[in-house]
Amino acid sequence: MHGAYQDRESKAEILMKNGEAWRIAFSSVAGRRPLKGKKLDEFTLLVELKASDIVRRWTGFFVLRRHVKPEVIFPIAELYRGKV
């Protein structure tokens, strides 16, 4: 999963074990400056809170070959209130 803001971008790799999110590894994207500060914190929170849903959707699309409706999550404040 990629998170971008202005000219910065970072990615999160969700490692799976037994079909579930097990660990999340964050890294930079080649040729782009990484997210930093509050934007990196928000991206980290988003991935941690949505990891199970991301794995479910990834499995549905890439393994089961099902259509997965795209989802744009904004603003991050909705995550804090548990609405996403």
Q: Where are the domains of the chain?
A: 2-80
For residues 79 and 64, give the distance between their C-alpha atoms in angstroms, rounded to a whole number: 28
The reply to whether the predicted model has a pTM over 0.75 is yes
The stretch 76-84 carries a mean pLDDT of 57
Q: What is the pLDDT of residue 18?
A: 86
Task: Give the residue carrying structure tokens 């959707």.
Answer: 57
Please, which pLDDT band fits residue 84 given cuts at 50, 70 and 90? very low
For residues 64 and 71, give the distance between their C-alpha atoms in angstroms, rounded to a whole number: 19
Structure-derived torsion over alpha carbons of residues 44, 7, 83, 60, reported in degrees to the nearest 10: -80
φ/ψ (deg, to 5) at 68 = -120, 120
Query: Measuring CA to CA, how many Å separate 33 from each of 6, 11, 20?
Result: 10, 11, 30
Q: What is the pLDDT of residues 13-63, one digit of tens each?
A: 999 888 788 899 999 999 999 999 999 998 999 899 889 998 889 889 999
Angle of CA points 19, 21, 25, to nearest 5°: 130
